[in-house]
């Protein structure tokens, strides 16, 4: 093993044996960890919930799965008039991740954010500018009698990358064309494709102290490692001020409460006390105006609690020699500079089960320039068109089991973990090159490590 590693280790004299192995624990989610590698791995309540908390979690589960219908109706009215899907679970199947549609499939668990370009003299960090008649998200479905805003056609351009040892890897680059828009879209519209993120372990991420996250930020790259994690600051509608962004592919939502309310609003057309104006407001077609929120504060709270308290699946095969080799390679290729293996949570008010936990999320919750190939060219508050939040890697080896696919990255373009790595550019250029220069045995070990998460 050491021979293999030192063969491509011309720069650093560090011997393999002394390469720090940062995490050997199976407890990815601290005391919220569950030992379940089945298709339920993402949808199990944290095992350390009290009886009353478990009850609240299960109430939230029911709401997360509830199908909404057109008002007026006895149960779950308020859908639309324009929307992307009718329930949370339809996009976050088994609390896992979405994917782009296959040829001839309709969009289910992927959506497009829209905006107009900012004026050249706009202040840094402004919210995205809505597109007149469309808002900031393309709603591809609508209730009876209302036109959907339109949809998108995806086609892929294939390209080939050859690693140093001559292995050819096929990558696909997505191209998007708007179709069936109910009125013309302005030419300069910016679009950001996003697949649904998984929703387990999120209370832990919300409980990471802000100071801890900011300690990893290095916007001006003072330490000269080429990596300059940057916090996003986004509008918090409850506090009425800009606060640290944590959720969404660009850390574009500050709290789980607001993320959930925004999902009801943007994805399902359902108002809550946080977002009282219908997403169709300002459109010439039908606009519903209600004085009371379509989803109550009680429901909003239990759904938020539900996504705060889903367990994190334990790591598997941590003592497997190949996995251990992959762990060392992960550290050596600087993956751990952004995908921070271990963090400690602070206190999240009202959610003791996620407070004061040692966790292995493999994220720094910060934004990174990932290069032109991954860019969506649509700024989102302080995130530029090339920046994305480091996604947590916990549970990534179970996505296939849970969701039946291995589509990764914000737009699901990667068809497996190696493709996801080989799209890394920008601040992760050095990491990608390190992987390109690995032998097949080493690349297999790196993947085995990721699959153990
Ligand atoms: C049309 C599909 C769709 C529906 C319906 C939907 N989501 Fe999502 N969800 C997404 C996408 C896409 C993202 C990533 C959004 C982004 O990057 O801005 C996301 C992100 C999230 C996140 C943040 C995850 C993270 O790691 O940052 C949470 C929490 C969430 N959704 C909860 C919900 C809840 C609760 C509902 C129902 C009220 C819901 N979602 C409905 C597609 C959907
Ligand atoms: C500069 C920070 C940075 C470094 C270094 C880095 N990553 Fe990432 N990684 C990211 C970001 C940001 C994304 C999301 C990009 C996107 O979706 O367009 C990502 C995405 C991923 C994904 C897909 C995750 C998902 O949920 O779809 C995997 C797997 C991954 N990285 C593994 C690695 C490995 C292995 C290395 C080292 C060879 C590495 N990363 C190095 C920042 C980084």
Asked if residue 366 has pLDDT above 70, the reply is yes
Residue range 351-362, pLDDT digits in tens: 999 999 999 999
Q: Looking at ligand 2, which atom is closest to the CA of residue 249?
A: 17
Q: How far apart are the C-alpha atoms of 104 and 293, rounded to whole Å? A: 36
- What tokens were used for 427? 């601040």
* Ligand 2 near 435 CB (within 6 A): yes
Token pair 């709401």 is found at: 63
Asked if residue 215 has pLDDT above 60, the reply is yes
* Ligand 2 near 427 CB (within 6 A): yes
End-to-end CA distance of the chain: 22
Query: By the 8 A CB rule, do 395 and 316 touch?
Result: no
Q: What are the distances in angstroms from CA 32 to CA 307, 328, 352?
A: 13, 26, 11
Could you say which ligand is closest to the alpha carbon of residue 272? 1
Residue range 320-343, pLDDT digits in tens: 999 999 999 999 999 999 999 999
Mean pLDDT of 393-419: 98
Q: How far apart are the C-alpha atoms of 21 and 11, rounded to whole Å? A: 20
Give the pLDDT score at 121.
Answer: 83
Ligand 1 centroid distance, CA of 37 (Å): 23
Give the pLDDT score at 284.
Answer: 75
Could you say which ligand is closest to the alpha carbon of residue 216? 2
Give the pLDDT score at 21.
Answer: 62
Ligand 2 centroid distance, CA of 157 (Å): 22
Asked if residue 211 has pLDDT above 60, the reply is yes
* Ligand 2 near 390 CB (within 6 A): yes
Mean pLDDT of 404-420: 98
Ligand 1 centroid distance, CA of 129 (Å): 20
Pick the closest to residue 69 from 90, 86, 93, 92 (CA basis). Answer: 86
Candidate from 62, 190, 196 with most ligand 1 atoms within 8 A of CB, to mutate: 196
Pick the closest to residue 263 from 196, 204, 351, 310 (CA basis). Answer: 196
Asked if residue 23 has pLDDT above 70, the reply is no
Token pair 């478990």 is found at: 54
Residue range 119-166, pLDDT digits in tens: 888 888 999 999 999 999 999 999 998 999 999 999 999 999 999 999
How much is the mean pLDDT over the chain? Answer: 93
Give the pLDDT score at 97.
Answer: 98
Token pair 């592919």 is found at: 249
Mean pLDDT of 225-239: 95
* Ligand 1 near 248 CB (within 6 A): yes
Helix 440-451 vs helix 321-332: angle between axes, to the nearest 10 degrees? 100
Mean pLDDT of 441-450: 98
Q: How far apart are the C-alpha atoms of 314 and 231, rounded to whole Å? A: 28
Pick the closest to residue 270 from 63, 51, 121 (CA basis). Answer: 63
Burial of 75 (C-beta count, 10 Å sphere; 0-12/13-18/19+): exposed
pTM recorded for the entire structure:
0.95
Residue nearest to atom 11 of ligand 2 (CA): 390
Flag the least confident range among 168-182, 207-221, 288-302: 288-302
* Ligand 1 near 256 CB (within 6 A): yes
Mean pLDDT of 294-310: 97
C-beta neighbour count of 112 within 10 angstroms = 25
């Amino acid at each position: 093993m050491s021979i293999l590693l030192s063969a491509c280790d011309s720069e650093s004299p560090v011997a393999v044996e002394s390469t720090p192995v940062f995490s050997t624990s199976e407890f990815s989610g601290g005391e919220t960890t569950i030992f379940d590698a089945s298709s339920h791995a993402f949808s199990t309540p944290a095992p350390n919930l009290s009886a009353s908390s478990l009850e609240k979690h299960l109430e939230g589960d029911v709401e997360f799965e509830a199908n909404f219908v057109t008002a007026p109706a006895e149960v779950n009215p308020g859908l639309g008039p324009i929307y992307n899907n009718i329930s949370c679970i339809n996009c976050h199947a088994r609390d896992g991740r979405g994917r782009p549609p296959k040829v001839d499939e309709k969009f289910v668990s992927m959506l497009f954010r829209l905006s107009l370009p900012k004026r050249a003299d706009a202040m840094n960090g402004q919210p995205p500018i809505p597109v007149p008649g469309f808002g900031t998200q393309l709603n591809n479905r609508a209730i009876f009698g209302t036109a959907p805003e339109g949809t998108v056609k995806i086609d892929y351009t294939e390209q080939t990358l050859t690693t140093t040892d001559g292995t050819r890897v096929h990558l696909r680059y997505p191209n998007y064309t708007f179709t069936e828009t109910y009125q013309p879209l302005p030419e300069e519209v910016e679009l950001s494709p996003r697949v649904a993120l998984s929703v387990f372990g999120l209370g832990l991420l919300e409980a990471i102290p802000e100071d801890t996250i900011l300690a990893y930020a290095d916007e001006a790259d003072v330490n000269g490692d080429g990596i300059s994690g940057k916090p996003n600051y986004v509008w918090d509608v409850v506090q009425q001020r800009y606060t640290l962004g944590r959720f969404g592919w660009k850390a574009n939502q500050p709290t789980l409460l607001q993320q959930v309310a925004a999902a009801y609003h943007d994805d399902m057309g359902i108002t809550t006390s946080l977002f009282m104006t219908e997403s169709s407001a300002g459109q010439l077609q039908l606009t519903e105006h209600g004085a009371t929120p379509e989803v109550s504060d009680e429901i909003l709270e239990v759904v938020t609690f539900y996504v705060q308290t889903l367990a994190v699946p334990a790591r598997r095969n941590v003592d497997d020699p190949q996995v251990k080799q992959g762990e060392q390679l992960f550290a050596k290729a600087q993956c751990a500079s952004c995908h921070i293996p271990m963090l400690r949570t602070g206190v999240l008010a009202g959610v003791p089960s996620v407070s004061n936990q040692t966790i292995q999320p493999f994220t720094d919750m910060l934004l990174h320039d990932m290069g032109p190939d991954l860019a969506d060219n649509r700024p989102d508050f302080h995130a530029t068109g090339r920046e994305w939040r480091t996604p947590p890697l916990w549970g990534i080896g179970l996505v296939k089991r849970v969701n039946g696919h291995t589509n990764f990255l914000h737009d699901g373009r990667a068809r497996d973990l190696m493709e996801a790595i080989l799209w890394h550019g920008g601040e992760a250029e050095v990491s990608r090159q390190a992987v390109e220069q690995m032998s097949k045995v080493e690349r297999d070990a790196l993947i085995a490590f990721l699959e153990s998460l």
